[in-house]
Amino acid sequence: MSSVRPLSAPGHMGVDYEERVDFDRLRRYRLARAKASLEASGCGAFLLFDFYNIRYTTQTWIGGALGDKMTRYALLTRDAGDPWLWDFGSAVRHHQLYSNWLPDENCRPGMLGMRGAVAPSAGLMESAVREIKGMLSEAGLAGEPVGVDIVEPAFLFEMQRQGLRVVDCQQFLLDARVIKSADEIMLLNQAAAMVDGVYQEIVEVLKPGIRENQIVALANQRLYEMGSDQVEAVNAISGERCNPHPHNFTDRLIRPGDQAFFDIIHSFNGYRTCYYRTFGVGSATASQRDAYTKAREWMDAAIQMVKPGVGTDRIAAVWPAAPDFGFADELAAFGLQFGHGLGLGLHERPIISRLNSMTEPIELTEGMVFALETYCPADDGFSAARIEEEVVVTADGPRILTLFPAQDLVVANPY
């Protein structure tokens, strides 16, 4: 009997009788990792626009609708204790009331233009850069490089116009985020446990006459009822839509004998899932079962390679080359035999693929968490199997977070 206990997914509440997620410890861990990355970078400061980097360093969050507007930003300076955050004015008041790990004076109202809706000629970017430049001068960092993760061209040009030397810091932040703490792993596991339950409900309703978009609606409702803070996407693909893989959903009616696969992408306290499962609807043909068997074999071969010290090239090598499953080259097949880090972002390090891993492998390290995805088209010309497992790298080998049965093709509501 194995003595290895399952990874914990204890629930949403904090309690006094069990140790669960320690959010103070989580915040300290993430900020310390970001500061260490800044020290290693040679930069005087990091200026962050990436929503996930802002959350990682400031431990703040506002609604996803504002996440792509390039208006929130944070500044982390070398030797400073706390980051500065610029946010929507009312959100700033909320942070000052409830995000008490940040000093009130470090939370400031900010507005840069909403991706150009307010033209740069209005001067908002100019004044913001002037403020940042003054803060860097006061900190003795004038002339030091400023690392920026993602940026609007107009803001980059304004930084350069005012004499700031801008370099890329996204690589350093992704390196910081790649090793997950025990608290992060628990949150990732809890997020996966929520999807386990959604798949049980999908299997129960997956019958002829239901539409793909109804499955999407069901998944969204159940996830939000269970405490998801963002359902980023639910892919629902069935029947003749399975091959080629379209990566979306429609209003197609599910029919008897369809092969159908789903990908549920949501977050719990910011930590994401990417979780495919494939089902037969009522029955499955020999062609569909053969495709599933191959996808499962490729998945199991990849999981068996997961251990500290192994390069991602060795994982990618166990997957079929693009021409072996009907694609001209690895770029055309990218994302089908695929691995990607999971955390606050959906696609973190390591990215595992024959496209990049064979020439620039990353060594697996304990504490990495990533999803592995396989895809196999069926020889009937239109069906296909898609499987995904979320894996934690531990000293004892891989630990799987995605527990809904997938070793064999599950046929929903068999005739």
How deeply is 40 buried, as exposed, middle or buried, from its count of CB atoms within 10 A (0-12, 13-18, 19+)?
Answer: exposed
Same domain, 121 and 216: no
Contacts of 122 (CB under 8 A, 6+ apart): 113
Residue where a domain terminates, one of 122, 156, 177: 177
Residue where a domain terminates, one of 154, 177, 200: 177
Q: What is the average per-residue pLDDT within 295-314?
A: 98
Q: What is the average per-residue pLDDT within 46-64?
A: 94
| 171 pLDDT higher than 70 | yes
Same domain, 355 and 400: yes
Tokens 């999803």 correspond to what residue?
Answer: 371
Phi, psi of 198 (to 5 degrees): -65, -40
Same domain, 214 and 173: no
8 in a structural domain: no
Same domain, 42 and 119: yes
Of residues 64, 61, 56, 60, the one with CA closest to residue 26 = 56
Record the tokens describing residue 267, joined without a space. 């977050």
Q: Residues 339, 302: contact at Cβ < 8 Å?
A: yes
d(CA 35, CA 82): 10
Q: What is the average per-residue pLDDT within 105-132?
A: 95
pLDDT of residue 12: 84
Same domain, 164 and 193: no
pLDDT of residue 317: 98
Report the CATH number that the domain containing residue 146 is assigned in CATH: 3.40.350.10
Share of the chain above pLDDT 70, in %: 99
pLDDT of residue 7: 87
Q: How many domains does the chain have?
A: 2
d(CA 312, CA 184): 22
Q: Residues 342, 390: contact at Cβ < 8 Å?
A: yes
| 68 pLDDT higher than 80 | no
Same domain, 87 and 208: no
Instruction: Find the range with the poorest average confidence among 12-21, 105-114, 151-160, 282-291.
Output: 12-21
d(CA 266, CA 361): 28
9 in a structural domain: no
pLDDT tens digits, residue range 76-101? 999 878 999 999 889 999 999 999 99
348 in a structural domain: yes
Q: What is the average per-residue pLDDT within 367-391?
A: 98
What is the 3 state secondary structure string of the chain?
A: CCCCCCCCCCCCCCCCCCCCCCHHHHHHHHHHHHHHHHHHHCCCEEEECCHHHHHHHHCCCCCHHHCCCCCCEEEEECCCCCCEEEECHHHHHHHHHHCCCCCHHHEEECCCCCCCCCCHHHCHHHHHHHHHHHHHHHCCCCCCCEEECCCCHHHHHHHHHCCCCEEECHHHHHHHHCCCCHHHHHHHHHHHHHHHHHHHHHHHHCCCCCEHHHHHHHHHHHHHHHCCCEEEEEEEEEHHHHCCCCCCCCCCECCCCCEEEEEEEEEECCEECCEEEEEEECECCHHHHHHHHHHHHHHHHHHHCCCCCCEHHHHHHCCCCHHHHCCCCCCCCCCCCEEEECCCCCCEEEEECCCCCCCCCCECCCCCEEEEEEEEECCCCCCEEEEEEEEEEECCEEEECCCCCCCCCEEECCC
Report the CATH number that the domain containing residue 236 is assigned in CATH: 3.90.230.10
| 3 pLDDT higher than 90 | no
Same domain, 224 and 358: yes
| 249 pLDDT higher than 90 | yes
121 in a structural domain: yes
Same domain, 114 and 132: yes
Average confidence score pLDDT of the chain? 96
Q: Residues 319, 298: contact at Cβ < 8 Å?
A: yes
10 in a structural domain: no
pLDDT of residue 79: 82
Same domain, 229 and 112: no
Residue where a domain terminates, one of 151, 177, 203: 177
Q: Residues 257, 282: contact at Cβ < 8 Å?
A: yes
109 in a structural domain: yes
328 in a structural domain: yes
Q: Residues 52, 170: contact at Cβ < 8 Å?
A: no
Structural domain boundaries, residue 239: 182-412
pLDDT of residue 2: 53
96 in a structural domain: yes
Query: Cis peptide leading into 120, omega within 30 of 0?
Result: no
pLDDT tens digits, residue range 308-361? 999 999 999 999 999 999 999 999 999 999 999 999 999 999 999 999 999 999
Same domain, 272 and 383: yes
Same domain, 216 and 260: yes
pLDDT tens digits, residue range 218-233? 999 999 999 999 999 9
Predicted structure pTM score: 0.96
pLDDT tens digits, residue range 257-283? 999 999 999 999 999 999 999 999 999
pLDDT band of 1, cuts 50, 70, 90: very low
Q: What is the average per-residue pLDDT within 396-404?
A: 97
Same domain, 260 and 338: yes
* Sign (positive or negative) of CA dihedral 221, 227, 229, 232: negative
